[in-house]
Amino acid sequence: MFEHKANDKTGLRIIIVGCGKVGRTLTEQLSKEGHDITIIDTNAVRVQETTNLHDVMGIIGNGASYSVQMEAGIEDTDLIIAVTNSDELNLLCCTIATQVGNCAAIARVRNPDYSKEVSYLREKLGLAMIINPELEAAKETARMLYLPTALEINTFAHGEAELIKFKVPAHNILDGITVANLSQNIFSNLLVCAVERENNVYIPSGDFKINAGDIISFVSHRENARKFLNKIGFNTKQVKQTMIIGGGRAAYYLAKDLLSMGISVKIIELNKARCEELSILLPEAIIINGDGTDEALLKEEGISNAQSFVALTGIDEENILLTLYARRVSTAKVITKINRITFREVISQLDLGSVIYPKYITSETILGYVRAKTNSKNSNIETLYHMFDQNVEAIEFRISEDTELNDIPLKELKLKDNLLISFINRNGDIIIPSGQDCIKTGDTVMIFTTHTGFNDIRDILA
């Protein structure tokens, strides 16, 4: 066993099985937030590297082994997270853990066959969560094809509110106006939450001036979001057809979703056997057996006329080159899947349109659950997103009991700096708050901040 220095933190005791990209990301994020982490992996080098980087314990072994889990302290553990490359191993790890210890369990499961049975598996195996990164990536991709103007769309309040990111083009009506002017004279039912400019992120005040090239994030009711984008000259109609390069799990999930919405789908996949599988699974889609990086093939299949183009191969470099090529030869909405979570700063400098990181989607979903589990009884985290390369958090809290914030006009609350209360959801009514509005028990409240680690709504107070 490798052991790093003793951990004297006061968070949850968490076992993470699997030191791949997601496991390492979770280890980094959860150890930063004060949790007591033990990692398990059969790869000694990965365990050693991870324990050298972070204040965690490491065990070399099979995470599904009873004796290994006992060595890791499963009997006193609050949560086990299994994110190995094997669905079956992840499910077995969690099953053993819930039988031996009194802990919650989260399993990463990617096989489409299991995805159809998530509710059954969760109930019968006693799991807190089953997460499928490819399925979640497909859902996020589909949202952006429904609203192709957006660079990113995140949903809150069970889909009633949307946080939308877009880039202000040259000569747009927003170029040169202040945030206050936008709200007063262009569109009132939204809140500008953040502006990214030259790698800096600002939580804007009313006198902040918007410039062409800025990347704006705003929150509003989903219907108002489209009205606003229409008003400032953006196309808000969903695409009618898409070209997908790569026929893996994410492509299958995405194509299935798009076809159900009446969007035609063409998939180009190199592996002939996989093409035959997809033609059976997706009879309404056009499946092309060929090399998606072949320029002549892409031209022959109509890339120049494509309304949307999604690069979903398993190789990041291919996805990046394909997207850059698609942007040069077409006006398509482009979406790029990136598996690696390094070099994000370099990738953000490229004109790749919308970028999907399945590994981050997985880690953020789990992180949101962990934050919720460590909450006080007063509030609970419903939704959590990281944005702008992890520099900003958007968190939706459910106010379950009275707190010292309740029934006090927001203008009278002493809030931390670099923080906005973005909306209040009261029985499905999305309120973009003014200083006169109050938080009440039963509301969900979204906050947007450059601070990290909030677990409770009261953390917003200075």
- Where do runs of H (alpha helix) occur along 158-289? 179-181, 222-231, 249-260, 272-281
Q: Is 376's pLDDT higher than 60?
A: no
pLDDT, tens digit, 9 for 90 and up, residues 32-89 = 888 999 999 999 999 999 999 998 999 999 999 999 999 999 999 999 999 999 999 9
Chain segment 386-421, per-residue pLDDT in tens = 887 778 888 999 888 888 889 999 999 999 998 999
pLDDT tens for 275-329 read 999 999 999 999 999 999 999 999 999 999 999 999 999 999 999 999 999 999 9
Residues ≥6 apart with Cβ < 8 Å to 57: 1, 2, 3, 4, 7, 37, 38, 39, 51, 72
Domains and CATH numbers, the chain: 2-131 (3.40.50.720), 148-231 (3.30.70.1450), 241-356 (3.40.50.720), 364-460 (3.30.70.1450)
pLDDT at 111 over 50: yes
Evaluate if residue 8 carries a pLDDT over 60.
no
**Contact partners, residue 167, CB within 8 Å, separation at least 6:** 151, 213, 214, 215, 216
pLDDT at 436: 92
142 touches 262 (CB < 8 A): no
Question: How many CB atoms are located within 10 Å of the residue 13 CB?
Answer: 20
Which phi and psi angles does 227 have, rounded to 5°?
-60, -45
Report the range of poorest mean pLDDT among 8-22, 192-206, 291-305: 8-22
> pLDDT category, 381, cuts 50, 70, 90?
confident
Give the per-residue pLDDT at 378: 54
Q: What pLDDT score was predicted for residue 424?
A: 94
pLDDT-based confidence at 114, cuts 50/70/90? confident
Q: Which residue has the tokens 């989607």?
A: 361
Query: What was the pLDDT predicted at 4?
Result: 34
CB 4 within 8 A of CB 58: yes
Residue 93: which of 40, 169, 132, 131 has the closest Cα? 40
Of 9-23, 59-73, 339-353, give the lowest mean pLDDT range. 339-353
Q: Are the CB atoms for 374 and 12 separated by under 8 Å?
A: yes
Check residue 75 and report its DSSP letter.
Answer: G
Confidence grade of residue 428 (pLDDT, cut at 50, 70, 90) = confident
